[in-house]
Chains A and B, each alone.
Chain A
Amino acid sequence: MTALTTGKAPIAVRRRRMRMGRLPLNLAALLTLAVSVFPVYWMVVTAFKPSADIQSDTPSFLPLHPTMAHFGTAVHSPGFGTFWRNSLTVTLSAVLMSLVVALLAAFAVGRMRWHGRRAFILMVFVAQMAPWEALLIPMYVIARDTDMLDRLSMLTLVYFMTTLPFTIVTLRGFLAAIPVELEEAAQVDGCTRPQAFRRVTFPLLAPGLLSTSLFGFITAWNEFAFANTLIIKNQDARTLPVWLSSFSNVFGTDWGATMAASSLFMLPVLAVFLVLQNRVTSGMTAGAVKG
């Protein structure tokens, strides 16, 4: 073996050595992976296990006898369809409202110059950090005074406002990434300003609109505190999070059905995350870091 032929060997040795050195690192990675995935995995596995396997002294970590029975129990429990529809209605209308309103505001902030613009941006930032948890009590009192208690429209309005600041800030970021020259060129070519926006900027903005609204969707879909405070007497106006939080009243100790209901509740959120995929982390940091 001369120097020439051994050219490859040291690399292989080095690689192996690196791999050895990486062993603790990879073990830590596997541990992190296990800790982050296990609760969700356990939820899904429990949902598919027959009750006998759930209530056994030694839990099985694989669904050896998978069954859909618990999903049936969850779906056929009283009101499930209503709560599902309520959640979807409230979430979609709130997201749509905040998307339209935020688009207008983002255009004014990103494309126009006016007095009070900085004050407006400051207001949006303040609103983004509003401690909503501290507003449960006045919201309840206001809703009661205005006869809006137990109504989905009140919930929609609250979710509209909780998602609005974030939507404005993110849309403004997406809008800033689209060169204003494109719009100006269209205007030179004879478009009016709204036309230029609709035909040139809007199509470019569409992906941004999609991911922004999906984040809004998640926020509204998961919201519990206001749904729990503002919907009290009218049980038909409840949303899924509140219903799920009272699972012990609904399912008693039927953990299979409870986990099936949780899985069904999580499903749309998971779908949204799959749609967003790699945009999740960047969007997350764009929303938080870039302000």
Chain B
Amino acid sequence: MLTARSADRRPAVVEPPPAAPRPRRHRRLGAVWPYLLVAPTVLGAAFLLVYPLVRNTVMSFQHFGLGELIRGGATWVGFANYRTVLDDPEFWTVVRRTLWWTGLNVVLIMVLGTLVALMLVRLGRRMRLAVMSGLVLTWATPVIAATTVFQWLFQSRFGVVNWALVKLGFDSYRDYSWFAHGGSTFAILVVLVVWQSVPFAALTLYGGLTTIPVELYESARIDGAGAWQSFRLVTFPMLRPLFALVTSLEVIWCFKAFTQIWVISEGGPNGATTTLPVYAFQIAQSLHKYDLGAAVSTLTVVILLAALVFNLRRMFRQEGAL
């Protein structure tokens, strides 16, 4: 819509360039240039982003199964798909599980990320460099490589985790197959996502921490503030925007996490790790109910919208300041 509006205005634009005034003949031509320059971006977004979104929404109001996929000619069914989805108790189970998954991951990431950031500030130079390199290595690990390694770490027979647990005296973990149980698969996925996400949170928060003037902490200490109080009264208020930013980004990332879950468990065992994006994909690809999958996708976006709008407002406020 935004793109359409700016395109409509194109002929009306005769704005003098900000710098040196040019001959009148060139001015018309000059006014067209910016639109030509952004045209590829606008076209790409129209075909590869707006159109799929529109198509998804349209599909969610149609009857669209395997037959319609092959032959075409989908019929309009109004809100029937949404009614089917919302009446299905499994959908609500998945929603609750997605919220629990997102909440658990984000809380762990933020707490650990903050602790690591606070630790980094207090470390000596060499130790800090070592830990930061380690964090960057984690951050650099491709998701697929990480999922593969975690499957090996938690392998039942020769996995190093089971070996360590047995050594520590938990004998029930001998040959324990983690991926056969819903709870343990869920736990491994949480560990994986947290392991991959803490570096971003920690390094970003560390970057913020280094901008807080030391004097603030000194005066807090003189006023008798302990470690917790100086965090609560100095660090947190100073970094509130950064905390909000990292939290909202992590909420978005965890909520829509797909690859890790799909590769490790495809939402199983027995649906124990099925979150909304996985659920939508399952319905569409495995059951060929593209209409219901599209409805779930649309609902996912709607649920995500709160976090997205929050981020967007912040981005645009910064944009206004520029």
Contact = CB atoms under 8 A, between A and B. Distances in A.
Interface of A: 22, 25-26, 28-29, 32-33, 35-37, 39-40, 42-43, 46, 54-59, 101-102, 104-105, 107-109, 112-127, 129-131, 133-142, 144-145, 157-158, 160-161, 164, 168, 176, 184, 187, 218, 221-222, 224-225, 228-229, 240-241, 244-245, 247, 255, 258-259, 262-263, 265-266, 269-270, 273, 280-282, 284-285, 288-291
B220 interface: no
Given A25-B123, A40-B138, A141-B55, A244 B145 contact: yes
Interface in B71-119: 72, 116, 119
Contacts, number: 298
B18 interface: yes
B158 A59 contact: yes
Contacts of A115: 6, 9, 12-13, 15
Given A112-B34, A245-B144, A58 B163 contact: yes
Closest CB pairs A-B (n = 10): A116-B6, A108-B37, A161-B48, A138-B56, A114-B34, A36-B134, A291-B315, A108-B34, A138-B52, A134-B297
Given A105-B40, A140-B285, A259-B149, 7 more contacts: A40-B137, A116-B2, A135-B53, A136-B258, A141-B59, A262-B149, A266-B141
A96 B295 CA distance: 35
Given A101-B44, A161-B48, A114 B200 contact: no
Contact of A26 (B19, B123, B300, B314): B123
Contacts of B312: 122, 125-126, 129
23 contacts: A36-B137, A42-B152, A104-B38, A115-B13, A116-B2, A116-B5, A123-B45, A136-B281, A137-B280, A137-B290, A138-B294, A164-B45, A218-B142, A229-B281, A229-B285, A244-B144, A245-B144, A262-B144, A266-B140, A282-B207, A288-B204, A288-B245, A289-B242
Contacts of B142: 218, 221-222, 241, 265-266, 269
Contacts of A39: 138, 141, 146, 149-150, 153, 195
A222 B163 contact: no
Interface of B: 2-3, 5-6, 9, 12-13, 15, 17-20, 31, 33-35, 37-38, 40-42, 44-45, 48-49, 51-53, 55-56, 59, 64, 69, 72, 116, 119, 122-124, 127-128, 130-132, 134-150, 152-153, 155, 157-158, 160, 163, 195, 198-200, 203-204, 207, 242, 245, 249, 252, 256-259, 262-263, 277, 280-281, 284-285, 290, 293-294, 297-298, 300-301, 304, 308, 311-312, 314-316, 318-319, 322
Nearest to A173: B322
